[in-house]
Amino acid sequence: MDFLKDLNQPKVYELKKAFCLFDLDGDGVISEQDLKNTFLTLGVDKSEYDIDKMFEGVVQPLNLDVFLLLMLQRANGLAPQDVMVGAFRMWDKANTGFIDKERFVHDITTYGDRFTLAEANEAVDDAVITRGPQLNDEGQLLEKLDYMDFAENISGFQKTDHK
């Protein structure tokens, strides 16, 4: 597993835990039956056709090494954490580590490769949000997004200069 040496180890650990959640029978391989049972556990009944489509083009057996490679290939377009932090700093003129959530959502739904409002809200759903001490236009405490934490959660699996 030489490809792991250049990766963010906490994220690799998370992927290993995810693999174990899918490998329901604990045999070290995610089988079609494991995947079907995982969906059933979540209350979703996937057809054999759907399960077959998910395994289409995947190297078999789907062991931990193959799973990690597959996840890394899917995440290949994601930027490393330091690149994400640099992008978020454009909203943080005071260099506080926090950005105005409302302005961030507005900007990503208005400029560049635009998100829909639903996509933007989904993107920040898991972000750490703090309130105050400033007030927004409606007199409510301003919601601020902890972009250092957010960048760590949404970045790719490559190591960064900061860790």
- To which residue do tokens 């960064």 refer? 160
Q: Which of 30, 48, 75 is the last residue of a domain?
A: 75
**Between residues 41 and 82, which one has the greater pLDDT?**
41
pLDDT digit string (tens) for 7-35? 667 778 888 999 999 999 999 999 999 99
In this prediction the pTM is 0.50
Selection from 6-10, 14-18, 127-131, 139-143 with the highest mean pLDDT: 14-18
Integer angstrom CA distances of residue 78 from 5, 11, 24, 29, 155:
18, 13, 29, 26, 6
Please say which residue of 75, 98, 121 terminates a domain: 75
Domain that holds residue 109: 79-153
User: Can you say how many angstroms the Cα of residue 89 is from the centroid of all Cα atoms in its chain?
Assistant: 19
Residue after which a domain boundary falls, among 34, 53, 75:
75
**For a pLDDT cut of 70, what percent of the chain falls above it?**
84
